């Protein structure tokens, strides 16, 4: 289902009382102002799962799970946000606009259906040609030279498009298909004057199927010198190269059983592995892996192994996808094939056992990336900075400090930049959230984030003081990006409603750790009394202001020290000073950023 507009979401949220919804899954007992039960997300004997009727949120003090009524339904039923909204809308009898405006969306759905049917029909025609017609001999011979067996040919419904301008067209006419739909499906190419001809001629045909096994498009390999060697269906209503993987339907079960999905680059790489009973394989359609592909992979199995060509291009293609895997918190490894070999060559020459051995030795892609960055390191200050700049954005995407630690140690050993400095670089210029708070606590000058955290904590409990954030640009002085973001959201929600809509706010907070902190604070059993809270708030705000002044002073001092280090050519100190300077600059900007999207874009460059 498509986008749901904000008003509908609000209506559903207003109708779906969180105590009722949670109460139908978890037995809840009233305790004080809240409800308490056993957490459905972790196993516990003493109830620590808290639901607030007043704030319309839940929070587990045992495992930290928290959020709005939508989060609860998404997690318990394993649904997407849109599906959770739809589910609750149905349950509480709220009509969704999509269901009322049948006109447009009904037309689209029917069109998609017709395109699917015509593709399935064409797949049958191509397959019949390959298996049972004399014209298909050229394709049968070719498959034989590539060592593809009958079972594989059948499972993938491989086919042959004969050397003819109207073979498929005549078949479709006989089947009483509307040729305009065949043109829309990309099977026929329109000519001027309303006529059309077959797009795929003298090609080995690979039907590309969705996860349910329905053909959405085709890939065709030329069996003569025609260009291009591989021709795909054009993008249609149901066929998008960036959102399709070859082999989804055949791989699905095997991926689940093996807890792992292999990704190869080409049709024949995939068929060669499948031939040897390695079924958990998919391939993108001649494009680089996209974030969408990685999301599809995450639904197949928790781990992915990239089995790309054994050359520099293969490795670069793998590394380009690292960011997407990190973003989706997906484990990904890289299988290095010998130079000049692709998976098809390897498994046919060496056999299955050597392949399985290589597979078991595949290294985490992050490790391969780090080695790649370090291999260009020439020992200079600039080189060291370059490596740090290349690696930190990726490390930042790993949310586990334990996982980061190993890589930080390698950098420490190989570059001579201490883990401390690297950690500061990591936490300061990125989140400024809880990770920054904990890693900074060791240091003396840890106050600013704690003051910011404290301020937010009080405002969550005493929303009437939220306007304080605007006075004398308090918010602009924030140095932690996450706290600044929450501060902006607090102001937005307070201004819109004149009170704090906490479950709405939680839906907008991106960082999960921050979200969990906020919901736990809002449900604290003994928040400070009003007078105490008010005097604390004033202390924190004074602290935030003075720390900004100190930050500005520090920046000035740092610049002078860098100039001095430059004069004395002390490279190690200079690298550390430059890292510190970068971190401070990022802290200075945290509270002033109006547009989050621009900031994250800036970081990626």
Binding window for Zn ion (CB under 5 A); candidates: 61-69, 234-242, 470-478, 593-601: 61-69
- Considering the complex, state which of residue 290 and residue 513 has its C-beta at the smaller distance from Zn ion: 513
- Please identify which residue in 26, 60, 248, 422 interacts with Zn ion, judged by CB under 5 A: 60
Q: How far apart are CA 92 and CA 120, in angstroms?
A: 39
Please say which residue, 71 or 485, places its beta carbon nearer to Zn ion. 71
Task: Identify whether 536 is preceded by a cis peptide bond (ω within 30 of 0).
Answer: no
Hunting for tokens 């037309």 — which residue is that? 107
Q: Which stretch binds Zn ion (CB under 5 A): 59-67, 346-354, 356-364, 451-459?
A: 59-67
- Length reported for the chain: 605
* 143-147, Cβ contacts within 8 angstroms, sequence gap of 24 or more: 143/204, 146/268, 146/271, 146/272, 146/344, 147/272, 147/275, 147/348
Q: What is the closest distance, in whole angstroms, from the C-beta atom of residue 39 to Zn ion in the complex?
A: 3
Q: Specify whether the CB–CB gap between 283 and 189 falls below 8 A.
A: no
Query: What single DSSP character describes residue 441?
Result: H
Work out how close the CB of 323 gets to Zn ion at its nearest, in angstroms, rounded to a whole number.
Answer: 31
Shortest distance (Å) from residue 18 CB to Zn ion: 16
Name which of 39 and 208 has its Cβ closer to Zn ion: 39
Q: 63 vs 183, which CB is nearer to Zn ion?
A: 63
Residue 442: count of CB within 10 angstroms of its CB: 9
Binding to Zn ion by CB under 5 A, coded x per residue (else -) over 269-298, reads ------------------------------
Pairing of strands 245-246, 215-222: unpaired
* Total residues in contact with Zn ion, by rule CB under 5 A: 6
Of the candidate spans 56-64, 340-348, 416-424, 559-567, the one that interacts with Zn ion by CB under 5 A turns out to be 56-64
Residue with smaller CB distance to Zn ion, 62 or 336:
62
Report the SS3 class of residue 276. Answer: coil
CB 516 within 8 A of CB 506: no
- Sole binder of Zn ion in the list 8, 15, 53, 62 (CB under 5 A): 62
Closest to Zn ion by CB, 39 or 168? 39
Closest CA to 519 of 34, 30, 14: 34
Place of tokens 């008010």: 534
Whole-number minimum distance, CB 40 to Zn ion, in Å?
8
Whichever of 64 and 242 has its CB closer to Zn ion, that residue is 64
By CB under 5 A, residue 223 contacts Zn ion: no
Q: How far is the CB of 55 from Zn ion (least distance, A)?
A: 18
Q: Which x/- pattern, by CB under 5 A, does the window 412-441 give for Zn ion?
A: ------------------------------
- DSSP of 483-517, one letter per residue? HHHHHHHHHHHHHHHSS--HHHHHHH---HHHHHH
Out of 63, 131, 181, 341, the only residue in the binding site for Zn ion (CB under 5 A) is 63
Residues within window 572-591 making contact with Zn ion, judged by CB under 5 A: none
In the region spanning residues 350 to 369, those forming contacts with Zn ion, defined by CB under 5 A, are: none
Binding mask 164-203 for Zn ion (x = CB under 5 A): ----------------------------------------
With respect to Zn ion, which residue has the nearer C-beta, 41 or 528? Answer: 41
Closest to Zn ion by CB, 42 or 106: 42
User: Minimal distance in Å, beta carbon 61 to Zn ion?
Assistant: 8
- Minimum distance between the CB of residue 259 and Zn ion, rounded to whole angstroms? 25
CB of 486 to Zn ion, least distance (A): 23
Q: Phi and psi for 399 in degrees, rounded to 5?
A: -90, 0
Instruction: Provide, rounded to whole angstroms, the least separation between the CB of residue 329 and Zn ion.
Output: 19
Closest CA to 170 of 122, 114, 208, 138: 122
Q: Give the Cα separation of 325 and 492 in Å (integer).
A: 33
Least distance between Zn ion and beta carbon 473 (Å): 39
In angstroms, give the least distance from the CB of 52 to Zn ion. Answer: 15
Looking at residues 3 to 42 of the shown chain, list those that interact with Zn ion (rule: CB under 5 A): 39, 41-42
- Is the CB of residue 393 less than 8 Å from the CB of residue 603? yes
Beta bridge partners of 23: none
3-class secondary structure for 397-421?
A: HCCCHHHHHHHHHHHHHHHCCCHHH
Nearer to Zn ion, 503 or 516 (CB): 516
Contact 201, 187 (CB under 8 A): no
Report the residue number, 431 or 519, with the smaller CB distance to Zn ion.
Answer: 519
With a CB cutoff of 8 Å and minimum separation 6, the contacts of 502 are 55, 56, 57, 460, 518, 519, 522
**Closer Cβ to Zn ion, 65 or 161, answer by number:** 65
Contact 75, 41 (CB under 8 A): yes
Site residues for Zn ion per CB under 5 A: 39, 41-42, 60, 62-63
């Amino acid at each position: 289902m498509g986008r749901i507009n904000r008003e509908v979401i609000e209506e559903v949220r207003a109708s779906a009382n969180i105590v009722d919804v949670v109460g139908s899954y978890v037995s809840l007992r009233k305790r004080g102002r809240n409800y308490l039960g056993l957490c459905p997300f972790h196993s516990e004997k003493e109830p620590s799962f808290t639901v607030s009727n007043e704030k319309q949120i839940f929070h587990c003090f045992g495992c930290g799970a928290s959020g709005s009524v939508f989060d609860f339904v998404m997690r318990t039923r394993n649904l997407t946000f849109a599906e959770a909204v739809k589910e609750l809308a149905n349950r509480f009898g709220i009509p969704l606009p999509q269901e009322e405006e049948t006109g447009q969306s009904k037309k689209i759905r029917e069109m998609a259906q017709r395109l699917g049917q015509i593709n399935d029909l064409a797949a049958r025609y191509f397959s019949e040609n390959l298996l049972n017609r004399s014209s298909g001999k050229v394709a049968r011979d070719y498959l034989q030279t590539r060592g593809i067996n009958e079972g594989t040919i059948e499972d993938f419904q491989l086919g042959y498009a004969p050397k003819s301008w109207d073979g498929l067209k005549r078949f479709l006419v006989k089947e009483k298909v509307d040729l305009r739909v065949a043109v829309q499906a990309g099977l026929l190419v329109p000519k001027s004057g309303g006529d059309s001809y077959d797009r795929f001629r003298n090609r080995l045909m690979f039907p590309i199927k969705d996860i349910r096994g329905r053909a959405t498009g085709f890939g065709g390999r030329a069996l003569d010198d025609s260009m291009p060697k591989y021709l795909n269906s054009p993008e249609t209503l149901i066929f998008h190269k960036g959102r399709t993987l070859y082999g989804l339907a055949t791989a699905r079960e095997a991926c689940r059983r093996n807890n792992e999905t292999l990704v190869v680059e080409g049709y024949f790489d995939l068929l060669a592995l499948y031939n040897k009973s390695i079924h958990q394989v998919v391939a993108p359609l001649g494009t680089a892996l996209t974030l969408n592909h990685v999301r599809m992979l995450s639904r197949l199995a928790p781990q992915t192994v990239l089995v790309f060509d054994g050359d520099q291009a293969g490795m670069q293609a793998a590394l380009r996808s690292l960011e997407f895997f990190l973003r989706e918190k997906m484990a990904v490894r890289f299988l290095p094939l010998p130079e000049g070999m692709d998976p098809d060559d390897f498994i046919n020459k060496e056999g299955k056992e050597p392949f399985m051995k290589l597979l078991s030795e595949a290294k985490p892609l992050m490790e391969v990336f780090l080695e790649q960055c370090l291999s260009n390191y020439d020992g200079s200050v600039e080189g060291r900075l370059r490596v740090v700049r290349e690696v930190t954005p990726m490390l930042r995407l790993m949310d586990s400090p334990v996982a980061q630690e190993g890589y930080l140690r390698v950098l420490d050993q190989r570059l001579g930049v201490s883990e401390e400095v690297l950690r500061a670089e990591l936490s300061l210029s990125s989140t400024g959230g809880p990770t920054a708070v904990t890693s900074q606590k060791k240091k003396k000058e840890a106050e600013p984030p704690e003051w910011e955290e404290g301020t937010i904590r009080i405002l969550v409990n005493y929303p009437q003081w939220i306007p304080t954030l605007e006075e004398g640009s308090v918010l602009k002085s924030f140095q932690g990006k996450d706290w600044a973001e929450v501060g902006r959201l607090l102001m937005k929600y307070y201004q819109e409603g004149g009170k704090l809509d906490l479950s709405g706010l939680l839906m907008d907070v991106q960082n999960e750790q921050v979200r969990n902190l906020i919901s736990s604070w809002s449900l604290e059993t003994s928040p400070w009394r009003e007078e105490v809270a008010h005097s604390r708030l004033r202390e924190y705000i004074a602290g935030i202001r003075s720390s900004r002044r100190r930050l500005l002073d520090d920046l000035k001092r740092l610049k002078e020290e860098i100039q001095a280090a430059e004069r004395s050519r002390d490279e190690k100190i200079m690298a550390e000073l430059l890292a510190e300077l970068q971190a401070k600059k990022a802290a200075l900007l945290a509270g002033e950023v109006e547009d989050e999207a621009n900031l994250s874009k800036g970081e990626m460059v």
